[in-house]
Structure 1
């Protein structure tokens, strides 16, 4: 047997490049590698860029300047799973940069990112794709793109992901999307309420918080409130309020409940299950101002419905609100006052606040906070309207002085509300005399000069209610109040013109005041108003006639007759035919 000869190894092919390990400390070099056709190089380049981007905002800006974004967008659809995963991770980090976000919108990357949410993709891809969308959805145009390209449905599906980061990113993105009404409507079609409610059971507070914030937005819509009710969502919310360890979520949970209470069916359900009593007790006993404030706001929103007001009254909501008026926090005082204002439509509530509530509201009129004074004045205005007993209670609680001081407030709402209370009080003669003794005519000068039509309207009405005797009219005349009153006749606002006419009609009851009104041009202005079909009103006609009663010659000229009550004491002369007189007066 012949000796075996060792076969020589074949030389490597000449057209194959020997393996080369590249190490680079230059970001620009790694960015160039993104254009490589080799999957291994692409994967390693992406991994290096990801670590670089994680280090901070400056690095993200550097990658943008180096042109990394455009080649990376192409890798989102790469066939190799590792390359695609690494590129997605980079975009999850880069998309927090505003300039990167802008470029991503221009490059229309949204569709490619949404594709990474597919059920068959691995969890890490879901995590960074949803992070990218959450970052992008903070801006309106991207929000529209995500919605229009079908991003909402896979995001809702990912709320059930086993990974908490995926859940957090998905609910954050959904929260941004549902700010838009159209998106909220689609959310209902996709039955998103149950998976969002499931997030309330999460062990991560940030996920619970984002879920509550999302529910707060979507339950502004009636259909969503019904879905939440049918999904036992109210029970979840009540349980959060009952859990002290979840106190960081109480404010948001209350805000969602406030929306739910606007729905009558939900309100009845909460009341029947004892949830309403728990809610009121929770609000009354809480020591956290924001919680008390939100609870009062919840009551306010719900109390605009008459049936809700009835249920609240049965649950003695008034006691809770009076307690909240005593809070040291201005925001809580304001919210409680607004809730009382809303509850005033219920006669039983109005009666309750006669002894408890009105004294506290009078004290709030003396607050240093203009907002508190405005809110308390509104509550008093509603409480005293068509309710003499409450008007008396306000006067007995030293309210007249506080109300007149409020007429000089910096807030138009406070002035208008205070004027309304004084008008309500002045319906009773003893209270009217008391108001007059507090120099009310002088206090009304500033409101009568106001540029705000609501203030003008309420001030004129207060004048009409308080100048029912000679002394008051003399005081108004001497303090210079007639001139701004006459000017209000020129208002383009129908209510202002009507109430100014009413006040002038009352003022024209005595000769000196009527003469001064005529000197100021009231008669001419009223005549002009009454010639207009759209501007005249019954008070302008009555005021014009009242002033003419003190100018009988002119009255005879204009009307052709004098009534039996028109007693001529100093002679009369004929002005001539009314048409001639009018043409001379208005050439």
Structure 2
């Protein structure tokens, strides 16, 4: 079902006029003063001008040095919607620059933004999640999100947020769960993600599978994925019409099937036929992951017996233009041909 796009347009009663910039080096200090003005219109106009300036990384560096972050953090709790919208937009744009991300992390912006998770204005929430997403791409940013205790509320927000914001949350979780997974598991992430695997949005299905891939890369995640019966749900996505969904699903399966319980679950769900279909498709994005997953299943006697009948499928992969696929196919053939 289609959802309305989150609008970045200002309320109709807001004067969009930007503040007049001072000349040269005085421009940013003057804006910082205007942001702290008691006049609402002055603050709004200063934020409009600042939104344009921070597209330049040099201006971002200067703004951070001049103490803009403290000013912007104080505006996040402003009662005016436009002020909150533009303040979060400024931080989001700053986070798109490397120098900006480093400054935001040093300035403790993550904790300040956490207070807006329940903001009634959609665009404000979208801006803060864009900022979280950009910051979490850095290891220290992902660590900052974890230390701020944001994983449980982010998992809960997947149940209620707009699709557009859910995509950003899934991207943030994907980067954070690469570092640590226990808080997400305790918050019931697997139950929520399992539901997202059947979401009508291709992007959400794909990103949910990507988060499950990160969870399955951890030892405790592998066990939890098996216990929550996520493996059959992932297998259902192998026949998805979207290549990206197939690739992420096979990647998650590849990690989940490392354990004996995971392999047994996959065999019980008849995983081999859809995986072989992906291996046979020369243009499939999931081909490499599918070969590696089948190699794991070939370690089971019944898996090896079944795959012996499809040895030619793997032999054809030896001519694949990708060296990684060739190596994976060669290993798969070795495992399939092994005799006790």
TM range (shorter): 0.7 to 0.9
Q: Is residue 407–residue 419 contact of structure 1 (8 Å, CA) maintained in 2?
A: yes
The aligned counterpart of 2:326 is 456
Q: Tell me, in whole angstroms, the C-alpha distance in 1 between the residues paired with 2:72 and 2:282.
A: 45
Is 1:294 aligned to residue 168 of structure 2?
A: yes
Aligned counterpart in structure 1 of residue 70 of structure 2, from 194, 215, 232: 194
The aligned counterpart of 1:364 is 237
Aligned counterpart in structure 2 of residue 339 of structure 1, from 207, 211, 215: 211
- Stretches of 4+ aligned residues off by more than 6 angstroms: none
Q: Tell me, in whole angstroms, the C-alpha distance in 2 between the residues paired with 1:452 and 1:246.
A: 47
Aligned counterpart in structure 1 of residue 129 of structure 2, from 254, 261, 271: 254
Is 1:234 aligned to residue 111 of structure 2?
A: yes
The aligned counterpart of 1:169 is 48
Q: Which runs of 5+ in 1 are unaligned?
A: 1-124, 134-145, 470-587
The aligned counterpart of 1:482 is none
Aligned length: 312
Question: Where do residues 416-435 of structure 1 align in structure 2 (5 Å cutoff)?
Answer: 416-435=288-307
* CA spacing shift, 1:432–1:126, aligned 2, 3 Å: closer
Question: Where do residues 62-461 of structure 1 align in structure 2 (5 Å cutoff)?
Answer: 127-129=19-21, 151-161=27-37, 162=39, 163-177=42-56, 180=57, 184-200=60-76, 201=78, 202-204=80-82, 207-208=86-87, 210-217=89-96, 221-229=101-109, 233-235=110-112, 237-243=113-119, 245-259=120-134, 262-270=141-149, 275-286=150-161, 288-305=162-179, 308-354=180-226, 355-385=228-258, 387-409=259-281, 411=283, 413-437=285-309, 439=310, 441-461=311-331
Q: Is residue 377–residue 414 contact of structure 1 (8 Å, CA) maintained in 2?
A: yes
Write out per-residue CA displacement over residues 333-390 of structure 1, whole angstroms, 9 at most, x where no aligned residue: 11111111111232222111114211111011100111110111111112123x1221
The aligned counterpart of 1:499 is none
Superposition TM-score, scaled by structure 1 size: 0.48
**Which has more radius of gyration?**
1
Q: Is residue 296–residue 321 contact of structure 1 (8 Å, CA) maintained in 2?
A: no
Q: Which runs of 5+ in 2 are unaligned?
A: 1-16
Q: Tell me, in whole angstroms, the C-alpha distance in 2 between the residues paired with 1:322 and 1:218.
A: 34
Secondary structure of the residue aligned to 2:96 is helix
| RCO comparison, higher one (Cα < 8 Å, 6+) | 2
What is the aligned-residue RMSD (CA, Å)?
Answer: 3.0
- Name which of structure 1's ranges 183-192 and 337-346 shifts more when overlaid on structure 2: 183-192
